[in-house]
Amino acid sequence: MIWNEYIECMSRDERANLQSERLRKMVERLYSNVPFYRKKFQEAGISPTDIKGIEDLPKLPFTYKQDLRDNYPFGLFAVPQSEIVRIHASSGTTGKQTVVGYTRKDLDMWSECVARALTSVGVSKKDIVQVGYGYGLFTGGFGLHYGVEKIGASVIPISGGNTHRQVQMMQDLKSTTLACTPSYALYLAEALKEKNALDSLKLQRGIFGAEPWTEEMRSQIQQKLNIKAFDIYGLSEIMGPGVSCECEHQCGMHIAEDHFIAEIIDPVTLQPLPWGEVGELVFTTITKEGLPLLRYRTRDLTSITIEKCECGRTTARMFKCKGRTDDMLIIRGVNVFPTQVESVLCEMREVSPHYQLIVDNKNNLDTLEVHVEVDEQFFSDEIRQMEMLSKKIKSQIEKTLGISVIVKLVEPKTIERSEGKSKRVIDKRQK
């Protein structure tokens, strides 16, 4: 199903013309209304008239998360405060919160993008969507909520947490679609299995995002919940969930290119990379009113294709994020992403996909300890059996990462579960 066939299936040339027109207008608006960007332009020696179309994107300055923090709370807003009808903010776990604002038109656009995303994975008016993302300053819950209402489906605004009630609502209200983080989906699968409730569900699909997850985890979710699992992408600085989403073919997330221009850059040289190469994802908003951003560096690592999809859509597709440049661990000179460990563990039936990486520095040498939760049916008090399993896991992880690791097997259900985003890494090194 396609929500807006004209927009989602237009030719690449038509879309480029539309993007260029909207980019020119947005650049003019930013220069006139946001002192921060006006100063950036002047420092770079460019003016709005230098931007003729999307081919001039590389001339424009980058925007960083720190820029939002430095201009906290409303310094980057491009409209008067009286036109802002909603405010969201990041968690602020790594510094001051980043505040984002939306006009009425921004919220309408957001709902439209999420409606497209939901339609692309098969949601229709007949569906009942259980939104297990948090409602509040986090954009996840509200983003999915208004998209569901836009297409006329029924929404259950249950928010995150309260797993007992989540299970009860799935059973009693016959939810057909689940929206939450992938790690929480696995947590729910455990709870459903314990209650022997899986066979009573009407779930057909899940829409999962807000944290990196691997294809191996997708397989686990699909198997444990007996659903089709789809990836959705978004970030509050750009809009929220719905910037891109997979379709029924699960071959990349279609980007809403009439609202967002995507680039892939080399995170070191900052030069644009060709389609298909892995690099850092950069977004420019071209229709937002409240907080439009130029070339925002997401820190997410992925690649993009512009080949037409089997579904008929011609929009560019971004592939699963391999991680974030700021999630990357450098251990003894080697770049390590948590998803690399996850991909190994999800291939092993003896362990659960719940794990934690403990990074430390001992005697001036970085160490990586991987805590792995053993699956209930394979957990044993027999020391030799557990030692063999530990050696097997250690060998596979070291082969993948290229560094030595310490593997510690733990009992089933002893690694802390999260009802939101999972905490995969504990870095004890001195900053």
C-alpha to C-alpha distance for 314 and 10, rounded to whole angstroms: 7
C-alpha dist (Å) from residue 297 to 260, 306, 329:
13, 20, 19
Question: Residue 376 in 3-state DSSP?
Answer: helix
Which has the closest alpha carbon to 224: 137, 354, 337? 354
C-beta separation of 324 from 210 below 8 A: no
Q: Give start and end residues of each alpha helix (H) in 261-363.
A: 338-345
Q: CATH number of the domain at 329-427, out of 1.10.510.10, 3.50.50.60, 3.30.300.30, 3.60.70.12?
A: 3.30.300.30
192 CB-near residues (< 8 Å, 6+ apart): 167, 170, 198, 201, 225
C-alpha to C-alpha distance for 289 and 278, rounded to whole angstroms: 31
Which residue type does 82 have?
A: S
Residue with tokens 């300055």: 61
Please state whether the peptide bond connecting residue 272 to the residue before it is cis, i.e. omega within 30 degrees of 0: no
Strand 351-362 relative to strand 425-427: parallel, antiparallel, unpaired? parallel
Which has the closest alpha carbon to 420: 132, 145, 212, 228? 132
List of E strands, 118-175: 128-131, 154-156
C-alpha to C-alpha distance for 419 and 82, rounded to whole angstroms: 35
Q: Identify the architecture of domain 1-326 in CATH.
A: 3-Layer(aba) Sandwich (3.40)
Q: Given this chain, do its domains 1-326 and 329-427 carry the same CATH topology? A: no
Q: Which residues pair with 355 in a beta bridge?
A: 372
Is this structure's pTM higher than 0.75? Answer: yes
C-alpha to C-alpha distance for 3 and 113, rounded to whole angstroms: 9
How many CB atoms neighbour CB 374 within 10 A?
21
**pLDDT digits (tens), the chain, 431 positions:** 999 999 999 999 999 999 999 999 999 999 999 999 999 999 999 999 999 999 999 999 999 999 999 999 999 999 999 999 999 998 654 457 899 999 999 999 999 999 999 999 999 999 999 999 999 999 999 999 999 999 999 999 999 889 999 999 999 999 999 999 998 999 999 999 999 999 999 999 999 998 888 899 999 999 999 999 999 999 999 999 999 999 999 999 999 999 999 999 999 899 999 999 999 999 999 999 999 999 999 999 999 999 999 999 999 999 999 877 777 788 887 888 888 898 899 889 899 888 999 999 887 788 999 999 998 888 887 888 889 999 999 999 999 998 999 999 999 889 887 666 778 888 888 55
How many CB atoms neighbour CB 390 within 10 A?
17
How many CB atoms neighbour CB 82 within 10 A?
6
C-beta separation of 16 from 54 below 8 A: yes
Domain boundary assignment for the chain: 1-326, 329-427
C-beta separation of 253 from 319 below 8 A: yes
C-alpha dist (Å) from residue 206 to 145, 246, 430:
14, 11, 39
C-alpha dist (Å) from residue 326 to 186, 236, 296, 329, 332:
25, 17, 15, 8, 17
List of E strands, 328-420: 329-331, 334-336, 351-362, 365-374, 406-410
C-alpha to C-alpha distance for 209 and 116, rounded to whole angstroms: 16
C-alpha to C-alpha distance for 395 and 393, rounded to whole angstroms: 5
CA 262, 268, 269, 270 torsion: positive or negative?
A: positive
